[in-house]
Amino acid sequence: MEEYSMRLKISFIVSFIALPIVFMVTLMYQNSSFGLFEGFSKGMAIGGMNQKNFTIGVPNVTANNEFGLRSLDNFEGRNKSAVKIKSSKSIPLTNSTSTPSKEINDDEKDKLLDGLLVSGFDEASCISRSQSHFYHKPSPHKPSPYLISKLRKYEELHRKCGPNTRAYNKDMKIIANSKNNSKKSAATTCKYIIWLPANGLGNQIISMASSFLYALLTDRVLVVQFGKDKEGLFCEPFLNSTWLLPENSSFWDAQNVVTYQSMEMTNTSNEYLPSAMYVDLKYSPTNDERFFHCDHNQFLLSKIPLLFLEAGQYFVPSFFMTPIFKDELNKMFPEITSIFHHLGRYLFHPANEAWELITSFYQQHLAKANERVGLQIRVVNPYSTPHQVVMNQILNCTLENKLLPKVRGTKNMSVSSSDKNKTIKKFVLVTSLFQQYGKNLTNMYQNKSTVTGEVIEVYQPSSEKEQKFGDNKHNLKAWVEMYLLSLSDVLVTTYQSTFGYVAKALGNSIPWILYNPVHNTNKEICEREFTLEPCYHYPPLHYCDDGKVIQDVASSFHNIRHCKDFPFGLKLVNTSV
């Protein structure tokens, strides 16, 4: 009897105390994101915008505010199968003939973007990762099996040597201790890149993607230096690890690190390689040459455990100029024009705070449209490029190319409700630092009927007036708007703007480019872009072997051409079509 009561006690302890503890510990382990966004998602619901003290500044240019905030239950995005989705665990009803297991597999395949993403993440810590496929059109560009295998291997490497791991801590100590001793580079378990931010958010995103590809090509671990200005923007991209440089890292400051430019790379013997080096790929008027694209420099850089990389540019085309990278690149990207599309969708998932703003705005203002037209209007200097000139250019571009309808007379207000339901609705998302553009378009379509009978509504989420640096809310708005633009069916972007490059690549949308209306008087007002790839604005200038100036890019480098929107720059193109 006593033995029986003892057993009873033990089973009580196991079931009511030990099991829940084991369960909790398992959950905590799975949920640990080690990062900036840890814990943010707890208890957060999509659509709860008023819980936040930040709301994106919508309405003063909004033509029509007829849609209230809609929950995902009523969501009618691109993918009608998402209508019934309440939580990311629900299975969307694809069509009546499909079997449940097929639905699960299809949903999983869509969610993981054809294998680009890995499963196993805690969905609540990054809601966008499991929901973005309801908003973006399915991509016709499939990641190659080789790219997928490289990503899975990279994730393993990052788990082994990412920040806060034992290997990382040990390696960083070794590097710190030998940093100033340039006699011999230190022997470490892994090698690293610390990415440093430069310029605006669009520039930073394209340079992070380039740095990540460089990490894949050179078996390095990518660590990013994010300040407070990036809180709430991006999820952690790598499973069960962080890519954030710890705040207390002695490598937060790259000053006093040997610069790549200062070294005579060609004459450097192994004996004199430092443990850390600063690689500056930024554009600067004085820095007119870089031999980063040359095999011999890559060979020497490969021996240095830690590289600080600052670029603010999309330097991926330079890898295609570097012979030692060619084979790997060809295997990873048999389709050369979707590199940033894949890297961007792999790396940049809006964190919950950003995702809440994106989905709320989308559902409130854009979901009901038959067609969404995104206009990204980047005016760097309104004094040299007056708003009226830009406005005329936008109208010429969108009306002449029938992206938006012309207007006539005054509006007929007495449309019956049945006609209203039949009317085609085009909603225009305007992003700009200046409110004039949204306001002008709103006035135009509010007061006049369109020749096609379409209803046009115009929304401009914010008008920040000027670019700000190091400002978290400002960056959040910029990221939200880049992402919203990527959800457009038709996209118009501004020449040379990396803000627009991010939107087009995430959305797989070949945009119309607005050229500089002042300098390019003999050019078209706008023209259709020909690839999703960003332009490398300030590329290498010289050949590696003889140091002579690169004259004819097309005959020297396969798949590289000058950009349409910035002819000095280079971009990857598919030359076989």
Burial 425-464 (b: 16+ CB within 10 A, else e): ebbbbbbbbbbbbbbbbbebbeeebbeeebbbbbbbbbbb
The least CB distance from residue 230 to ligand GDP, in Å, is: 11
Query: Per CB under 6 A, does 569 bind ligand GDP?
Result: no
CA distance 300 to 125: 40
Retrieve residue 369's tokens. Answer: 């449209």
Binding mask 147-186 for ligand GDP (x = CB under 6 A): ----------------------------------------
CA distance 444 to 430: 14
318-326, 328-336, 460-468, 542-550 -> range binding ligand GDP (CB under 6 A): 460-468
Q: Binding ligand GDP by CB under 6 A: which of 46, 186, 478, 513?
A: 478
Nearer to ligand GDP among residue 457 and residue 481 (C-beta): 481
Give the list of residues 6+ apart from residue 299 with CB closer than 8 angstroms, or none. 324
CA distance 220 to 302: 9
* Residues paired with residue 431 on neighbouring β-strands, in sequence order: 376
* Residues paired with residue 495 on neighbouring β-strands, in sequence order: none
Size of the site for ligand GDP (CB under 6 A): 19
CA distance 292 to 322: 9
Query: Per CB under 6 A, does 188 bind ligand GDP?
Result: no
Query: Per CB under 6 A, does 398 bind ligand GDP?
Result: no
The least CB distance from residue 499 to ligand GDP, in Å, is: 4
210-218, 389-397, 403-411, 473-481 -> range binding ligand GDP (CB under 6 A): 473-481
Nearer to ligand GDP among residue 271 and residue 466 (C-beta): 466
Q: Binding ligand GDP by CB under 6 A: which of 467, 472, 508, 559?
A: 467
Query: Per CB under 6 A, does 493 bind ligand GDP?
Result: no
What is each CA distance from 41 to 73, 179, 317, 474, 479, in whole angstroms? 20, 39, 37, 21, 19
The least CB distance from residue 260 to ligand GDP, in Å, is: 23
The least CB distance from residue 374 to ligand GDP, in Å, is: 11
Q: Which residue is nearest to ligand GDP (CB)?
A: 200
Query: Per CB under 6 A, does 462 bind ligand GDP?
Result: yes
Query: Per CB under 6 A, does 477 bind ligand GDP?
Result: yes
Give the list of residues 6+ apart from residue 328 with CB closer than 8 angstroms, or none. 217
Query: Per CB under 6 A, does 268 bind ligand GDP?
Result: no
| DSSP one-letter string for 506-565 | HHT---EEE--TTT-TTS-SEEE---SSPPBSS---B-TTT-PBP--HHHHSTTEEE-SS
Helix (H) or strand (E) holding 86: none
Q: Binding ligand GDP by CB under 6 A: which of 202, 237, 305, 438?
A: 202
Q: Binding ligand GDP by CB under 6 A: which of 432, 435, 493, 516?
A: 432
What is each CA distance from 114 to 89, 106, 117, in whole angstroms? 18, 10, 8
Query: Per CB under 6 A, does 504 bind ligand GDP?
Result: no
- Would you tell me which residues interact with ligand GDP (CB under 6 A)? 199-203, 378, 431-433, 462, 464, 467, 474, 477-478, 481, 497-499
